Chains A and B, each alone.
Chain A
C-alpha cells in the first residue's frame, strides 16, 4: 500500500543533542513537508521541499535542518539550537499542484530527557 512512514514513533532527546526524524513516502509525490504540532496551535510549517535537492524554510525553521537527496525521503534534524523541541512532528507529501491534498504520516512525538 502507498503511504508515508515516519520513524521512530517516540523519540527522546538529551540536552545538546541533535536528533533526526525519518520520513519516507512511496506515493511518487514531488512535494514533502514537515510540520510541528503543539497543543492548541494547530500545525506550523517547519520546512518544505517541492523537488529533489531543493527545500525552503517554513514559518518556524530556526533550530531545524532538512535534506532532500532522494524523492522518497525527507529527514528532519532537530538541532541543539532548538530550545523547545518537545512537540508532535508530522511529515506530509503531495503532488506539486496546490489543489492537491497532503498525505500525512503517523507522526513522531519528541520529548526532552
Chain B
C-alpha cells in the first residue's frame, strides 16, 4: 500500500524556535518522488522541494532544510529560527508511477502556528 503519514496534526512554537515536521511514507516502488508543499491561509499550495528515491542528500535552502532517510522511510522538514510568516499547513506527498501516468498521494498535513 502507498501511504504518507504526518503524525503531527498541529504544532505551535514561538518565533525564532526551530521546528521539525515529520513525514513517513510507505511504498513498494523503487522509483518514486517526495515533495513538500506549503498551504498559507490564502489556500493555494506552494511547492517547496522535490526529492527522488535515489537521492538521499540532505538539502538546505535558507532557513529550510530537509532530511531524507530511506532506511526509515522518512522525509522530515526543519524550519530554523521560525517566523510568523511560516504559519501555514505543510503537506508531504509521494508521487509514484502508474501505467500511462502517475499518482501523487498527500499526507493529512501539519498545521504550524508560529507566535510572535
Residues of A within 8 A of B (CB): 31, 33, 35, 40-45, 48, 50, 56, 88, 90, 92, 96, 98-99, 101-107
Instruction: Report if A105-B107 is in contact (Cβ < 8 Å); known contacts: A42-B91, A56-B101.
Output: no
Q: Which of B95, B104, B107 has the most CB of A within 10 A?
A: B104
* Contact pattern, B 72-103, Cβ under 8 Å of A = 1, otherwise 0: 00000000000000000001000111001111
Give the residue of B44, B96, B97, B106 whose beta carbon is less than 8 angstroms from that of A42. B106
The 5 closest A-B pairs by CB, nearest first: A98-B102, A101-B47, A107-B43, A42-B108, A104-B45
* In the bound complex, CA of A101 to CA of B37 (Å): 9
Q: Which of B35, B47, B101 has the most CB of A within 10 A?
A: B101
Query: Which residues 37-72 of B sit at the A interface, judged by CB distance below 8 A?
Result: 37, 42-47, 50, 52
- What is the CB-to-nearest-CB distance from A24 to chain B, in angstroms, rounded to a whole number? 14
| B104 with A40: CB separation less than 8 A | no
| A43 with B47: CB separation less than 8 A | no
| A90 with B33: CB separation less than 8 A | no
* In the bound complex, CA of A33 to CA of B91 (Å): 17
- Name which residue of chain B comes closest to A91, CB basis: B44
B96 contacts across to A, CB distance below 8 A: 98
Give the residue of B6, B44, B52, B103 whose beta carbon is less than 8 angstroms from that of A99. B52
| A40 with B95: CB separation less than 8 A | no
- Name which residue of chain A comes closest to B46, CB basis: A104
- What is the CB-to-nearest-CB distance from A1 to chain B, in angstroms, rounded to a whole number? 13
| B43 with A106: CB separation less than 8 A | yes
- What is the CB-to-nearest-CB distance from A51 to chain B, in angstroms, rounded to a whole number? 9
